Structure 1
Amino acid sequence: MKLLAFAASNSSQSINRQLVDYAIGLLADGEIEGVPAGALEISTLDLNDFEMPIYSIDRQEAGGIPQAAHDFYNTLGAADALLISFAEHNGSYTVAFKNVFDWASRIDMRVYHDKPIVMLSTSPGGGGGGFVLRTAGHLAGYFGNEVLASLAIPRFGQNFDSEGGTLTDPDLDAQLRETLATLSGLLP
Protein backbone atom coordinates (compact mmCIF):
# COMPACT_ATOMS: atom_id res chain seq x y z
CA MET A 1 0.00 0.00 0.00
CA LYS A 2 1.31 3.43 -0.95
CA LEU A 3 1.14 6.06 1.80
CA LEU A 4 1.84 9.71 1.01
CA ALA A 5 2.82 11.73 4.08
CA PHE A 6 3.46 15.45 4.38
CA ALA A 7 3.18 18.53 6.53
CA ALA A 8 0.80 21.23 5.31
CA SER A 9 3.49 23.84 5.88
CA ASN A 10 6.32 25.37 3.87
CA SER A 11 8.50 26.15 6.90
CA SER A 12 11.99 24.66 6.89
CA GLN A 13 11.62 24.24 10.66
CA SER A 14 8.05 22.93 10.61
CA ILE A 15 7.06 21.18 13.81
CA ASN A 16 4.32 19.46 11.81
CA ARG A 17 7.02 18.05 9.52
CA GLN A 18 8.85 16.76 12.59
CA LEU A 19 5.63 15.08 13.74
CA VAL A 20 5.08 13.49 10.32
CA ASP A 21 8.68 12.27 10.23
CA TYR A 22 8.24 10.65 13.64
CA ALA A 23 4.96 9.05 12.56
CA ILE A 24 6.39 7.60 9.34
CA GLY A 25 9.38 6.30 11.28
CA LEU A 26 7.02 4.38 13.57
CA LEU A 27 5.14 3.02 10.58
CA ALA A 28 8.28 2.07 8.63
CA ASP A 29 9.83 0.31 11.64
CA GLY A 30 6.76 -1.82 12.31
CA GLU A 31 6.07 -0.14 15.65
CA ILE A 32 2.36 0.31 14.94
CA GLU A 33 -0.01 -2.52 15.83
CA GLY A 34 -1.29 -4.23 12.72
CA VAL A 35 1.19 -2.48 10.40
CA PRO A 36 4.24 -4.71 9.95
CA ALA A 37 7.56 -3.21 8.83
CA GLY A 38 7.61 -2.99 5.06
CA ALA A 39 3.82 -3.16 4.70
CA LEU A 40 3.70 0.44 3.51
CA GLU A 41 5.50 2.09 0.64
CA ILE A 42 5.91 5.54 2.21
CA SER A 43 6.67 8.66 0.21
CA THR A 44 6.71 12.30 1.28
CA LEU A 45 6.31 15.64 -0.39
CA ASP A 46 7.44 19.16 0.42
CA LEU A 47 5.02 22.02 -0.25
CA ASN A 48 7.98 24.16 -1.30
CA ASP A 49 8.13 22.05 -4.46
CA PHE A 50 4.67 23.33 -5.45
CA GLU A 51 5.02 27.11 -5.20
CA MET A 52 2.67 29.02 -7.47
CA PRO A 53 1.18 32.49 -7.72
CA ILE A 54 -1.65 33.13 -5.28
CA TYR A 55 -4.79 31.66 -6.76
CA SER A 56 -7.30 33.93 -8.45
CA ILE A 57 -9.83 33.28 -11.17
CA ASP A 58 -8.19 36.08 -13.18
CA ARG A 59 -4.84 34.27 -13.12
CA GLN A 60 -6.50 31.00 -14.04
CA GLU A 61 -8.35 32.55 -16.99
CA ALA A 62 -5.23 34.36 -18.18
CA GLY A 63 -2.73 31.52 -17.90
CA GLY A 64 -4.50 28.31 -17.01
CA ILE A 65 -3.69 26.04 -14.10
CA PRO A 66 0.05 25.85 -13.32
CA GLN A 67 1.88 22.57 -13.84
CA ALA A 68 2.76 22.53 -10.12
CA ALA A 69 -0.95 22.23 -9.28
CA HIS A 70 -1.27 19.27 -11.64
CA ASP A 71 1.84 17.71 -10.10
CA PHE A 72 0.42 18.09 -6.57
CA TYR A 73 -2.97 16.73 -7.61
CA ASN A 74 -1.41 13.75 -9.39
CA THR A 75 0.93 13.00 -6.49
CA LEU A 76 -2.04 12.71 -4.14
CA GLY A 77 -3.83 10.57 -6.69
CA ALA A 78 -0.94 8.10 -6.95
CA ALA A 79 -1.20 7.23 -3.25
CA ASP A 80 -3.52 4.68 -1.65
CA ALA A 81 -3.78 6.66 1.61
CA LEU A 82 -2.66 10.01 3.01
CA LEU A 83 -1.05 11.15 6.26
CA ILE A 84 -1.13 14.93 6.63
CA SER A 85 -0.09 17.05 9.60
CA PHE A 86 -1.77 20.44 9.35
CA ALA A 87 0.08 23.48 10.62
CA GLU A 88 -2.23 26.12 12.05
CA HIS A 89 -1.77 29.80 11.25
CA ASN A 90 -4.24 32.07 13.03
CA GLY A 91 -6.73 29.22 13.41
CA SER A 92 -6.64 28.07 9.78
CA TYR A 93 -4.52 26.42 7.08
CA THR A 94 -1.13 27.85 6.19
CA VAL A 95 -1.19 30.10 3.14
CA ALA A 96 1.19 27.69 1.39
CA PHE A 97 -1.18 24.73 1.77
CA LYS A 98 -4.33 26.73 1.03
CA ASN A 99 -2.86 28.07 -2.19
CA VAL A 100 -1.74 24.66 -3.48
CA PHE A 101 -5.09 23.20 -2.44
CA ASP A 102 -7.05 26.01 -4.14
CA TRP A 103 -5.20 25.54 -7.42
CA ALA A 104 -5.59 21.74 -7.27
CA SER A 105 -9.32 22.09 -6.58
CA ARG A 106 -9.67 23.84 -9.93
CA ILE A 107 -8.53 20.62 -11.60
CA ASP A 108 -11.09 18.59 -9.65
CA MET A 109 -12.93 19.33 -6.38
CA ARG A 110 -12.04 15.77 -5.25
CA VAL A 111 -8.48 16.92 -4.50
CA TYR A 112 -7.95 13.95 -2.18
CA HIS A 113 -9.15 11.44 -4.81
CA ASP A 114 -11.40 9.65 -2.29
CA LYS A 115 -8.33 8.42 -0.41
CA PRO A 116 -8.49 7.46 3.27
CA ILE A 117 -6.56 9.91 5.40
CA VAL A 118 -5.05 10.21 8.85
CA MET A 119 -4.96 13.83 9.95
CA LEU A 120 -2.55 15.18 12.54
CA SER A 121 -1.69 18.63 13.80
CA THR A 122 0.56 20.18 16.39
CA SER A 123 1.33 23.64 17.66
CA PRO A 124 3.34 25.33 20.41
CA GLY A 125 0.13 26.08 22.33
CA GLY A 126 -2.35 24.02 24.26
CA GLY A 127 -4.78 23.62 21.37
CA GLY A 128 -2.35 21.56 19.30
CA GLY A 129 -3.69 22.99 16.05
CA GLY A 130 -7.18 21.81 16.91
CA PHE A 131 -8.94 24.56 14.96
CA VAL A 132 -7.31 23.67 11.64
CA LEU A 133 -7.71 19.96 12.35
CA ARG A 134 -11.45 20.38 12.91
CA THR A 135 -11.73 22.49 9.76
CA ALA A 136 -9.80 19.95 7.69
CA GLY A 137 -11.89 17.09 9.05
CA HIS A 138 -15.16 18.92 8.49
CA LEU A 139 -14.30 19.79 4.90
CA ALA A 140 -12.68 16.46 3.99
CA GLY A 141 -15.81 14.87 2.55
CA TYR A 142 -16.38 17.78 0.20
CA PHE A 143 -12.93 17.33 -1.28
CA GLY A 144 -12.88 13.57 -1.64
CA ASN A 145 -11.56 11.77 1.36
CA GLU A 146 -12.53 9.62 4.29
CA VAL A 147 -10.95 10.58 7.60
CA LEU A 148 -9.78 7.41 9.33
CA ALA A 149 -8.59 9.22 12.45
CA SER A 150 -7.24 12.54 13.65
CA LEU A 151 -5.09 13.72 16.53
CA ALA A 152 -3.88 17.11 17.76
CA ILE A 153 -0.63 17.20 19.75
CA PRO A 154 -0.52 20.23 22.09
CA ARG A 155 2.55 22.06 23.39
CA PHE A 156 4.94 20.60 20.86
CA GLY A 157 8.06 22.01 22.50
CA GLN A 158 7.18 20.40 25.82
CA ASN A 159 6.04 17.05 24.41
CA PHE A 160 8.53 16.42 21.60
CA ASP A 161 12.30 16.05 21.67
CA SER A 162 13.32 17.75 18.42
CA GLU A 163 16.95 16.64 18.70
CA GLY A 164 15.99 13.00 19.20
CA GLY A 165 12.96 13.22 16.93
CA THR A 166 10.60 11.56 19.42
CA LEU A 167 7.33 12.27 21.16
CA THR A 168 8.24 12.24 24.86
CA ASP A 169 4.82 12.28 26.51
CA PRO A 170 3.82 8.61 26.91
CA ASP A 171 0.08 9.29 26.76
CA LEU A 172 0.35 11.35 23.59
CA ASP A 173 2.67 8.77 22.07
CA ALA A 174 0.11 6.03 22.80
CA GLN A 175 -2.63 8.17 21.23
CA LEU A 176 -0.50 8.73 18.13
CA ARG A 177 0.16 5.01 17.81
CA GLU A 178 -3.59 4.29 18.10
CA THR A 179 -4.32 6.92 15.48
CA LEU A 180 -1.76 5.45 13.08
CA ALA A 181 -3.04 1.91 13.72
CA THR A 182 -6.22 2.84 11.84
CA LEU A 183 -4.14 2.37 8.68
CA SER A 184 -3.97 -1.36 9.44
CA GLY A 185 -7.56 -1.76 8.25
CA LEU A 186 -6.43 -0.79 4.75
CA LEU A 187 -3.79 -3.50 4.44
CA PRO A 188 -4.53 -6.64 2.45
Structure 2
Amino acid sequence: MKNIIAFTGSTNPDSINEKLLIAAINKFPKGSVQLIQLTDHDVPIYSQKIEEGNGIPKAIKELFQLFTKADGFIIASPEHNGLLSSFLKNIIDWLSRIDQNFFGDKPVMLMSTSPGETGGSSHLQILKNLIPRWGGNLSSIYSLGDFNNKFDVDNLSISDKSEDLKLNEAVQAFV
Protein backbone atom coordinates (compact mmCIF):
# COMPACT_ATOMS: atom_id res chain seq x y z
CA MET A 1 0.00 0.00 0.00
CA LYS A 2 1.36 3.34 -1.00
CA ASN A 3 -1.27 5.79 0.22
CA ILE A 4 -2.56 5.09 3.71
CA ILE A 5 -4.63 7.67 5.55
CA ALA A 6 -4.31 7.74 9.34
CA PHE A 7 -6.48 9.72 11.74
CA THR A 8 -7.80 9.80 15.26
CA GLY A 9 -11.32 10.38 16.46
CA SER A 10 -10.12 12.68 19.22
CA THR A 11 -10.51 16.44 19.55
CA ASN A 12 -7.88 16.60 22.29
CA PRO A 13 -4.77 18.45 21.05
CA ASP A 14 -2.69 16.26 23.41
CA SER A 15 -4.45 13.02 22.46
CA ILE A 16 -2.83 9.80 23.66
CA ASN A 17 -4.56 8.05 20.77
CA GLU A 18 -2.76 10.33 18.33
CA LYS A 19 0.53 9.56 20.08
CA LEU A 20 -0.17 5.83 19.62
CA LEU A 21 -1.14 6.48 16.01
CA ILE A 22 2.19 8.20 15.37
CA ALA A 23 4.01 5.23 16.91
CA ALA A 24 2.20 2.97 14.43
CA ILE A 25 2.87 5.31 11.49
CA ASN A 26 6.59 5.20 12.32
CA LYS A 27 6.54 1.45 11.57
CA PHE A 28 5.68 2.12 7.91
CA PRO A 29 8.02 3.29 5.14
CA LYS A 30 8.40 7.09 5.12
CA GLY A 31 5.81 8.81 2.98
CA SER A 32 3.38 5.87 2.79
CA VAL A 33 1.08 7.13 5.55
CA GLN A 34 -0.62 10.52 5.58
CA LEU A 35 -1.72 11.70 9.03
CA ILE A 36 -4.80 13.86 8.67
CA GLN A 37 -6.49 15.94 11.34
CA LEU A 38 -10.24 15.41 11.33
CA THR A 39 -10.50 18.52 13.49
CA ASP A 40 -9.50 20.50 10.39
CA HIS A 41 -12.83 19.43 8.88
CA ASP A 42 -15.22 21.59 10.88
CA VAL A 43 -18.78 20.39 10.37
CA PRO A 44 -22.05 20.73 12.27
CA ILE A 45 -23.59 17.84 14.17
CA TYR A 46 -25.40 15.80 11.54
CA SER A 47 -29.10 16.38 11.14
CA GLN A 48 -31.38 15.66 8.21
CA LYS A 49 -32.70 19.22 8.44
CA ILE A 50 -29.19 20.68 8.07
CA GLU A 51 -28.46 18.37 5.15
CA GLU A 52 -31.73 19.28 3.43
CA GLY A 53 -31.11 22.99 3.93
CA ASN A 54 -27.39 23.23 3.23
CA GLY A 55 -26.37 19.95 1.61
CA ILE A 56 -23.23 18.02 2.48
CA PRO A 57 -20.60 20.34 4.02
CA LYS A 58 -17.66 21.17 1.73
CA ALA A 59 -15.24 19.84 4.38
CA ILE A 60 -16.90 16.41 4.25
CA LYS A 61 -16.80 16.36 0.44
CA GLU A 62 -13.06 17.14 0.61
CA LEU A 63 -12.53 14.41 3.20
CA PHE A 64 -14.49 11.94 1.07
CA GLN A 65 -12.22 12.75 -1.89
CA LEU A 66 -9.17 11.97 0.27
CA PHE A 67 -10.80 8.66 1.21
CA THR A 68 -11.39 7.70 -2.42
CA LYS A 69 -7.67 8.15 -3.18
CA ALA A 70 -6.48 6.12 -0.17
CA ASP A 71 -5.30 2.52 -0.33
CA GLY A 72 -6.14 1.89 3.34
CA PHE A 73 -6.93 3.49 6.68
CA ILE A 74 -5.51 3.47 10.20
CA ILE A 75 -7.91 4.76 12.83
CA ALA A 76 -6.96 5.48 16.43
CA SER A 77 -10.26 5.90 18.22
CA PRO A 78 -10.60 7.07 21.82
CA GLU A 79 -13.20 5.32 23.92
CA HIS A 80 -15.87 7.52 25.49
CA ASN A 81 -18.06 5.61 27.96
CA GLY A 82 -17.53 2.34 26.08
CA LEU A 83 -18.27 3.86 22.66
CA LEU A 84 -16.49 5.78 19.93
CA SER A 85 -16.30 9.54 20.40
CA SER A 86 -19.28 11.62 19.30
CA PHE A 87 -16.83 13.63 17.17
CA LEU A 88 -15.79 10.56 15.16
CA LYS A 89 -19.38 9.34 14.91
CA ASN A 90 -20.43 12.70 13.49
CA ILE A 91 -17.75 12.53 10.79
CA ILE A 92 -18.90 8.99 9.95
CA ASP A 93 -22.53 10.11 9.83
CA TRP A 94 -21.68 12.83 7.30
CA LEU A 95 -19.42 10.61 5.18
CA SER A 96 -22.11 7.93 4.99
CA ARG A 97 -24.51 10.48 3.51
CA ILE A 98 -22.26 10.67 0.45
CA ASP A 99 -21.73 6.92 0.25
CA GLN A 100 -22.50 4.28 2.90
CA ASN A 101 -19.45 2.42 1.53
CA PHE A 102 -17.09 5.36 2.21
CA PHE A 103 -14.10 3.13 3.03
CA GLY A 104 -14.38 1.79 -0.51
CA ASP A 105 -13.68 -1.90 0.22
CA LYS A 106 -10.19 -1.03 1.46
CA PRO A 107 -8.28 -2.35 4.50
CA VAL A 108 -8.77 -0.73 7.88
CA MET A 109 -6.64 -1.03 11.01
CA LEU A 110 -8.32 -0.05 14.29
CA MET A 111 -6.40 1.13 17.32
CA SER A 112 -7.13 2.55 20.74
CA THR A 113 -5.38 3.33 24.00
CA SER A 114 -6.29 4.57 27.45
CA PRO A 115 -4.70 4.94 30.87
CA GLY A 116 -6.86 1.99 32.01
CA GLU A 117 -6.03 -1.67 31.59
CA THR A 118 -8.41 -2.36 28.70
CA GLY A 119 -6.94 0.34 26.46
CA GLY A 120 -10.31 1.27 25.00
CA SER A 121 -10.87 -2.25 23.68
CA SER A 122 -14.60 -2.28 24.49
CA HIS A 123 -15.57 0.11 21.74
CA LEU A 124 -13.18 -1.52 19.27
CA GLN A 125 -15.38 -4.61 19.48
CA ILE A 126 -18.33 -2.45 18.45
CA LEU A 127 -16.37 -0.73 15.67
CA LYS A 128 -15.08 -4.02 14.25
CA ASN A 129 -18.69 -4.99 13.53
CA LEU A 130 -19.46 -1.62 11.91
CA ILE A 131 -16.38 -1.23 9.69
CA PRO A 132 -17.75 -3.68 7.06
CA ARG A 133 -21.04 -1.76 7.00
CA TRP A 134 -19.05 1.31 5.89
CA GLY A 135 -17.16 -0.63 3.22
CA GLY A 136 -14.01 -1.33 5.21
CA ASN A 137 -12.12 -4.61 5.30
CA LEU A 138 -10.97 -4.94 8.89
CA SER A 139 -7.37 -6.14 8.75
CA SER A 140 -6.23 -5.75 12.34
CA ILE A 141 -7.06 -4.39 15.77
CA TYR A 142 -4.62 -3.17 18.39
CA SER A 143 -5.34 -1.85 21.87
CA LEU A 144 -2.76 -0.55 24.35
CA GLY A 145 -3.82 -0.54 27.98
CA ASP A 146 -1.99 1.28 30.77
CA PHE A 147 -0.76 3.98 28.39
CA ASN A 148 1.06 5.99 31.06
CA ASN A 149 3.30 3.06 31.98
CA LYS A 150 3.72 1.40 28.58
CA PHE A 151 4.28 4.37 26.28
CA ASP A 152 7.29 6.66 25.95
CA VAL A 153 5.77 10.06 25.13
CA ASP A 154 9.19 11.64 24.51
CA ASN A 155 10.03 9.17 21.75
CA LEU A 156 6.44 8.50 20.64
CA SER A 157 6.93 4.76 20.95
CA ILE A 158 5.70 1.85 23.01
CA SER A 159 8.18 1.19 25.81
CA ASP A 160 6.80 -2.25 26.72
CA LYS A 161 8.52 -4.76 24.42
CA SER A 162 5.69 -7.30 24.34
CA GLU A 163 3.17 -4.57 23.50
CA ASP A 164 5.44 -3.21 20.78
CA LEU A 165 5.60 -6.71 19.30
CA LYS A 166 1.78 -6.86 19.29
CA LEU A 167 1.65 -3.53 17.45
CA ASN A 168 4.18 -4.86 14.92
CA GLU A 169 1.94 -7.90 14.37
CA ALA A 170 -1.12 -5.66 13.88
CA VAL A 171 0.80 -3.53 11.35
CA GLN A 172 1.92 -6.64 9.47
CA ALA A 173 -1.62 -8.00 9.39
CA PHE A 174 -2.81 -4.66 7.99
CA VAL A 175 -0.13 -4.57 5.29
Measured against the shorter chain, the TM-score band is over 0.9
After superposition, give the CA deviation of every residue in 1:99-135 in whole Å (9 maximum; x if it has no partner). 1111111011012111111111111111111122111
1:134 aligns with 2:125: yes
Moved over 3 A (4+): none
TM-score (norm 1): 0.88
Tell me if structure 2 keeps the 8 A contact 1:10–1:46: no
Instruction: Name the CA distance, whole Å, in 1 between partners of 2:22 and 2:111.
Output: 12
Question: What displacement does 1:96 show?
Answer: 1.4
- Give the stretch that moved more between structures: 159-168 or 169-178: 159-168
User: What letter matches 2:156 in structure 1?
Assistant: G
Tell me if structure 2 keeps the 8 A contact 1:84–1:120: yes
User: What letter matches 1:91 in structure 2?
Assistant: G
User: What letter matches 1:48 in structure 2?
Assistant: T
Aligned partner of 1:84 in structure 2 is 75
- Other structure's SS at 1:27 match: coil
- Other structure's SS at 2:52 match: helix
User: What letter matches 1:10 in structure 2?
Assistant: T
After superposition, give the CA deviation of every residue in 1:56-107 in whole Å (9 maximum; x if it has no partner). 1111111111011111222122110111111111111112111111111101
TM-score (norm 2): 0.95
Unaligned residue ranges in structure 2 (runs of 5+):
none
- Other structure's SS at 2:143 match: strand
Instruction: Name the CA distance, whole Å, in 1 between partners of 2:38 and 2:85.
Output: 11
User: How many residues of Structure 1 are paired with residues of Structure 2 in the alignment?
Assistant: 174
- Other structure's SS at 2:28 match: helix
1:159 aligns with 2:150: yes
Aligned partner of 1:20 in structure 2 is 21
Tell me if structure 2 keeps the 8 A contact 1:128–1:152: yes
- Other structure's SS at 1:26 match: coil
- Other structure's SS at 2:23 match: helix
- Other structure's SS at 2:75 match: strand
- Other structure's SS at 2:79 match: coil
Aligned partner of 1:32 in structure 2 is none
- Other structure's SS at 2:141 match: strand
Alignment of 1:19-168 (within 5 A): 19-28=20-29, 41-168=32-159
Indicate the RMSD between aligned Cα atoms, in angstroms: 1.2
User: What letter matches 1:102 in structure 2?
Assistant: D
